[in-house]
Amino acid sequence: MRQNMNKWVIGLSVLFLASCGGKSGKQDITVEMTDTIATETEGLKTIQLDTLAVTWIQDNAAPKLMPSSLFEGASKQVIDSLGLQEGVPASMSTFLVQTNGKRILFDTGLGDSSSCLLPHLKTMGITPEDIDYIYLTHFHGNHIGGMMKGDSVVFPKAEVFAAKMEYDGWMSMPDDKKAQVVKTMTAYKDRLHLFEFGDTLPGNVLTLNAIGHTPGHTVFKTGKLLVVGDLIHGAALQLPYPDICASFDMDKRLAILSRKYFLQYAEENGLVVAGMHLPSPAFLPNKQ
């Protein structure tokens, strides 16, 4: 498994963007995507995967480094050997899939004053009203935050899909921990759909069990695309050392199993991996 994981490290891109439309900063390593690039601008990258137009949308405005202290089990020797003393490069990303005239948004980012999601959609000529579906990998605030602006919904026409196991898990948590989830899901209750793992959603999107990071953490597969949510928080560290978890993982044993399984699954099936915290642009190219 370690040998297979190392293949993903080769060609990993680290690209820091200064703002929602700002200049590029430090660029350590380049990435070579074997798929056709339709468009590429600051904070946006679209690739064509057969009938799917897949756009990476960077939500974070400032460069993002995960402190190495967030990764339990990462020794100083490992951090030093990988040159990650200043932190592990990451991003806060969402993905838009356009297929058969429909627009599917995977997660919605932070939704705070620094969020770049809506400005980037505007750059693409897309309004929040144009989003047909929102598919949620999990309910952490940096993934559902963009669904609300104050007490108002941001995406007034979108049908929202989330794992029933994720919904039930959060609803059993203390009130203070689930407050944002309750507010958001209540606001979208007339358009909220809870799925079981293995269900196929509109757009021919398969839902896959990736629990561990959260109670119902979900990976989505459609065509040659695999949206892996928060399986990986610090790629430069966790690809060569997949047994290392970030402190955000609720069940670390299951998070490790899910991470190893889906990285192997992606490699064996020649899938492009889209991860919400992969370094910009947040794709790992397929290996076939």
Residue 134 has pLDDT above 90, yes or no: yes
Report the pLDDT averaged over residues 1-27. Answer: 42
| Higher per-residue confidence, 286 vs 36 | 286
Residue 5 has pLDDT above 90, yes or no: no
Report the pLDDT averaged over residues 95-114. Answer: 97
Relative to beta strand 218-222, strand 200-201 is: unpaired
Report the pLDDT averaged over residues 209-218. Answer: 98
Crossing angle of the two packed helices 2-9 and 252-268, in degrees rounded to 10: 70
Query: In this predicted structure, which of 36-45, 96-105, 235-244, 264-273 has the lowest mean pLDDT?
Result: 36-45
3-state secondary structure labels for all residues of the chain = CHHHHHHHHCCCCCEEECCCCCCEEEECCCCCCCCEEEEEECCEEEEEECCEEEEEEECCCCCEEECHHHEECCCHHHHHHCCCCCCEEECCEEEEEEECCEEEEECCCCCCCCCCHHHHHHHCCCCHHHCCEEECCCCCHHHHHHHEECCEECCCCCEEEEEHHHHHHHHCCCHHHHHHHHHHHHHCHHHEEEECCCCEECCCEEEEECCCCCCCCEEEEECCEEEEECCCCCHHHHCCCCCCEECCCCCHHHHHHHHHHHHHHHHHCCCEEEECCCCCCCEECCCC
pLDDT at 21: 55
Confidence label for 72 from pLDDT (cuts 50, 70 and 90):
confident
- Domains of the chain as residue ranges with CATH: 2-284 (3.60.15.10)
Report the pLDDT averaged over residues 105-131. Answer: 97
Report the pLDDT averaged over residues 124-142. Answer: 98
Residue 34 has pLDDT above 80, yes or no: no
Average per-residue pLDDT for the chain: 89
Residue 265 has pLDDT above 70, yes or no: yes
Query: In this predicted structure, which of 23-32, 113-122, 239-248 has the lowest mean pLDDT?
Result: 23-32
pLDDT at 285: 79
Confidence label for 13 from pLDDT (cuts 50, 70 and 90):
very low
Confidence label for 41 from pLDDT (cuts 50, 70 and 90):
confident
pLDDT at 20: 72
pLDDT at 10: 37
- Which pair of tokens denotes residue 229? 């949510």
Confidence label for 288 from pLDDT (cuts 50, 70 and 90):
low
